[in-house]
Amino acid sequence: MRPKNSSPFSPSPLSALKVVALAGGVGGARLVDGLAQVLPAQNLTVIVNTGDDFEYLGLKICPDLDTVCYTLAGIANPVTGWGRINETWNSLESLTTLGGPGWFRLGDRDIGTHLERTRRLKLGERLSQITRDFCNAWGVNLTVLPMSDDLVQTWVYTDEGVLPFQEYFVHRRCQPRVSGFSFEGADQAQPALGVMEALGLADMVVICPSNPWVSIDPILAVPGIKSALGAKFVLAVSPIIGGQTVKGPAAKMYAEMGIEPSAPAVAHHYHMLLNAFVLDQVDAPLATALDDQGIPTLTTHTLMTSADDRRRLAKEVLEFAVKIMEEKPPERRNSI
């Protein structure tokens, strides 16, 4: 278990908390949006997965960064959770009519984001600075950071060979059977500017209900980030409800690697880091096993279908974390 901090935790109320959220994908973006409704903007920093970034049609695409930023800005497609609201598809239709690849759907508004990001990257600017400027333009006041300004690429090991993540996820529609993952370039990457500073100042770290394998693990693979979490109170929210995921292939990945997809499987994935865990009410019978392992658990409704759901869950997560911290200072489960 983690050794006790030298000083007790005492920030109150919730608005005084300094929180770092690790996120990727739609579920992560939705909880981040809830946290943004509860916390002052200056007290919330979001570190976003960039392992699934790739180049398409000559453009730099950052799917998780854009999903998080679009959601916070209130311009995400409310049906899909990704892409832009009120999108049009003229460019894509013209492209495919001419015989170009259309497997990764880029809407006209979305393309503008990628064009400007690509232009500035080619000028030598950092992804973190570009993201900050985009957030300012969209009215997002909190700090959103890529996990690294360096290139990290997620590769998926499957029965059809080793595939780049977007080839597996979008082009192949997650159909190949998965056996593992690697994060090319992670060992040489550095945390983006501001990442380590935010972690150093944080009262707690929230691991959002994102895919543990391909949204959170790439973040933790960047040198320095995982070790920084060892000194922090870390709470994770399960993306698996009743053995299934709301969106994405996390449950399928667990099953194909011989692990029963469940909330406890997610907790075990993070067990060297965790101080607390949140799972859905559907999985309430599983909470006892986690409590017996020394992981305090909160059972609640984790499905976020509205803005009110996001705010409620975020508030419950933070209140639960504060309660645990006040009762029992963070302990390290092992050296990381």
Summarised one tens digit per residue, pLDDT across range 208-252 is: 999 999 999 999 999 999 999 999 999 999 999 999 998 889 999
The top-scoring range by mean pLDDT among 9-13, 213-217, 321-325 is 213-217
**11 or 185, higher pLDDT:** 185
Structural domain boundaries of the chain? Answer: 14-327
Q: Does 6 have pLDDT greater than 50? A: no
Q: Which residues of 202-213 are buried (b: 16+ CB within 10 A; e: fewer)?
A: bbbbbbbbbbbb
| Residue 327 confidence (pLDDT) | 83
Token pair in block for residue 286: 């599983």
Mean pLDDT, all residues of the chain:
93
Q: Which of 215, 169, 176 is nearest to 32 (CA)?
A: 215
Summarised one tens digit per residue, pLDDT across range 47-63 is: 999 999 999 999 999 99
Annotate the chain with three-state secondary structure. Answer: CCCCCCCCCCCCCHHHCCEEEEECHHHHHHHHHHHHHHCCHHHEEEEECCCCCEEECCEEECHHHHHHHHHHHCCECCCCCCCECCCCCHHHHHHHHCCCCCCCCCCHHHHHHHHHHHHHHHCCCCHHHHHHHHHHHHCCCCEEEECECCCCEEEEEEECEEEEHHHHHHHCCCCCCEEEEEEECHHHCCECCCHHHHHHHCCEEEECCCCHHHHHHHHHHCCCHHHHHCCCEEEEECCEECCEECCCCHHHHHHHCCCCCCHHHHHHHCCCCCCEEEEEHHHHHHHHHHHHCCCCEEEECCCCCCHHHHHHHHHHHHHHHHHHHHHCCCCCCCCC
Percent of the chain with pLDDT over 90: 87
Q: Does 10 have pLDDT greater than 60? A: no
Indicate whether this model's pTM tops 0.85.
yes
What is the C-alpha to C-alpha distance for residues 229 and 205, in angstroms, rounded to an integer? 7
Q: Does 332 have pLDDT greater than 80? A: no
Q: Residue length, the chain?
A: 336
Q: Which of 102, 108, 117 is nearest to 149 (CA)?
A: 117
What is the C-alpha to C-alpha distance for residues 303 and 282, in angstroms, rounded to an integer? 10
Summarised one tens digit per residue, pLDDT across range 158-204 is: 999 999 999 999 999 999 999 999 999 999 999 999 999 999 999 99
Q: Considering only 32-46, 136-150, 194-208, 280-294, which range has the smallest mean pLDDT? A: 280-294
Q: Considering only 44-53, 262-271, 285-294, 321-330, which range has the smallest mean pLDDT? A: 321-330
The tokens 């997650």 sit on which residue? 174
Please, which pLDDT band fits residue 152 given cuts at 50, 70 and 90?
very high
Q: Considering only 4-18, 61-75, 238-252, which range has the smallest mean pLDDT? A: 4-18
| Residue 271 confidence (pLDDT) | 85
Percent of the chain with pLDDT over 70: 94
| Residue 336 confidence (pLDDT) | 40
Domain range 14-327, CATH architecture: 3-Layer(aba) Sandwich (3.40)
Give the phi and the psi of residue 190 in degrees, each rounded to 5. Answer: -120, 145
| Residue 334 confidence (pLDDT) | 41
Q: Are 302 and 330 in contact (CB under 8 A)?
A: no
